[in-house]
Structure 1
Amino acid sequence: MEYILKELRRLERKCRIGNRELAAIGRIEHVEKIQEMLELQGMQLSAVLDNDAGKEGLMVKGVKIHKPEKFLSPFNSNVFILIYSPKYWQDMSSQFQRMGYREGEHFAVLGKPDVKSSVTDVWKGSRIYHKICRQYGPDAEILVIRGPVGDFYLLSLYLAAYLEKENIINYVLAGDSKGFARLADIFEIKNIYPLSGEETDHLIQAYIFAGAAEYRVHLLTVWQNLSFNSCLVKFREGFSFMDTIRAFSYGLPRDARMTSPAFARMNDGLETFCVQKGIKKGKTVILSPFAYSIQSLPMHFWQQLTDELGNRGYTVCVNIDVKKEKCALENVVPVSFTFSQSVAVLEYAGYLVGIRSGFIDVTSSAKCKKIILYPQYIKEHATSQCHRMDMEFCGLANMGLCKDAIEKEYLLMDMEGNTYMKDGLYDCIREQELIAFIVEQIWEQEIIND
């Protein structure tokens, strides 16, 4: 992130951002880096901006998250916005321009590519490639994986079939995927070469520059590096995200064999863990309210659901990293367990309610009552940049991951906080209906169990 530090210094000289009210927008880990760089220069963030309404009010290292429309309205000429998002910076720039903010005067895009930086990145990527080859051999096939945990999980299901198809014996998985440290063990994947996001960008740019004749590189999550939706068949009926993995990433036939992950089984030690955490066997609902790729439902939705379930005698837990995240819900038990333990813990608890996320991919095989919520997909609003996470495209049943989940859609808000419905913002009547539906499904399962 050294180049980010240089850009911040340039912005201080040109725009005197040290005397401005600073806001930052981008992935949380990127915002944290910007915070560190600003502090090195004696500057502080006033706000973190995020278009996900579910994160509003949460904190990032002591700085509150705001929705852009609320923090930036009415127009405030003293605000300076720092954008760092290699994938969505154009969308964010347009969003702020529509609100009256001008690039260079009121906001800046950090890390915007130019010729000089691109040549440097290729050189750095070449060094990384040859370093990997020295460790694993010149015949090593480098499979680049990046992105969230769910992508890594789905790619791992078909990895063995792909290696067999391509007759690959010596391989290494490289990249900045969040799944490396958390999921490799359940698939018994040994050859892992973790990279930072920057290093992964450099490796990919070096491969694109040199070509397949020179570099043994496979870009398995190629859509992570394109500003448009590279897989237009996503908009064809009957095409699911699993088809993207199987056909687009790997070129495998529909009857390709999936690898079964080796989750930990329930044992005395794991049962003791559940008891100590307050998870009651068959009487606990574990909530998973956050996702990497989609907007969350508002916190008051989850709080009302928690209260309803508590009134019916259920223990409610929320799945968060207790070391890094603060739980914003009351009357819940924060729990954190490994992905290896996740299936056994959910089966012990009895119930899972969550919005569609990578966690849902990983735990799809759990034999418990699963209620999964999806953003509503409005076909007439789909564009080449549409990121589909709806039930038709990412449903567990449609993807072939499981057939026992209860799947339900909710209203989707766009980047400006508006729904695609005619009657305005978040529909509280529909919210109450959704809460009632979830509670009824759990209560029905209770009757069946009895």
Structure 2
Amino acid sequence: MTPDSVMFKAQGQHVKFNLACGSPSNPVAFLPMRRTRRLVLILTAAVVVCQFGSPTTAATAQQHSVGNSPGSSVKHDSKTNRRCPSQDAIEAVLGKASTFMQSAHYQDAATTLQPFSDLNCDVRVSLLLAASFDESGDIPKAKQVLQQAHSIWPMNTSIAASLAREFFGTGQIDQAAEALKGFHATAKTPAQELQLATLVFISSHQLTSAQTIAEINYKSYPSIQSLLLLANTLQLEGRFKEATSLLQPQRNTYADSPQFLITIAESEYDAVLYDTARDDLKHAIALDPKSYQAHLLLGNTLLKLNDTDKAITEYHESIELSPNQPRTYYQLALALQTKQDQDEAEAQLTKALAIDAHYAPARLEIGRILLNQSHTVDAVAQLNMAIQDNPTEEQAYFLLARAYAQLGDKDKSAAMAKRLKEIRNANWRNPSATIGNQSDSGQTSTPR
């Protein structure tokens, strides 16, 4: 039999979670939200063991899909079913592998599990095998195991989440989203899986799906993390009033949370409540002086309040705290332009593009500056690159229409004007498509 609990070490701390079926405690509750990717993968395997027992054949596995996802199935012929070992044999191998995992003998765990994983009889074996490879540092093998399992159990939420996590961890956003194509969230889906799915859908600009899962996460596992994640999804959809309505009743509860204050300040900023946003951000900085996000958003807010010098000070502070954020250099450039310091503004925009060559707002602003300086040909080149990086950026089409008109190319100018109208109409119908166009906002593309 598998042990009642397993202790793993992550980030220098030992973390215990239950494996005992029927335990009233939630295994997820043993871990903070920001645990290592590997440990969460192992935890996923533990949740499977606890929640769904041991399907011993393909036919039984078909009835025990993790997360109660509809449509989960195992595609085996009768010969494969006959090859599946007994329930006692599977329990024994899971118990033995768990013991190896507990003592950090990950290769031994993998060796124990591999023959059973190849039979594709029990989803838990694949999850635990992937975890053993992941812990031993063999990410490609972990991913291979999960991809094979995903082809067998395509609607299994834990397999999908684990595979998506592997892709997401290496920046393969499209592949992560594809792995979650059949993800079916319920109130019983583990919090880590819900959080991961929300982040993946945000990163792949599937904001409706992100919001739906974030709502389930917050209702099932109410906490400041799930609250702010839901608020972030609403803000990214441009629904700042709903975000404020969500956060405002919790103000007293989280009055001393810098992240709460930063998040609600973003909605206040979007609602043009700049004085209120400024006060909340100053409070956040008093609680956490090292928050680059608070300094950045305070700079944006002060700029709106025409306090340009203090805004520039905040941007420099934000850059010192986190020098690899292109948007901070971009915002600093905007502030410098209000002081007619065009040369330094261009220098800051160049720094932004040195960090991220595809950061469209900086590319757009350089195009605007060049156009105003009558460097029209160079402006056209920059604006076209901005469109390549963000095809929904309305200002780029507007400026291109103007630039081509200055060059005497009436056909291209008219084409850009027509395209601008099409993009504007599309953005109006689908506000989420304009993410990243609010160049002076403090919003991030992913929640904090």
Please tell me the TM-score bracket, short chain as reference. Answer: under 0.3
Higher relative contact order (CA 8 A, sep 6+): 1
Q: What is the TM-score with the length of structure 1 in the denominator?
A: 0.25
Q: What is the TM-score with the length of structure 2 in the denominator?
A: 0.25
Q: Greater Rg, structure 1 or structure 2?
A: 2
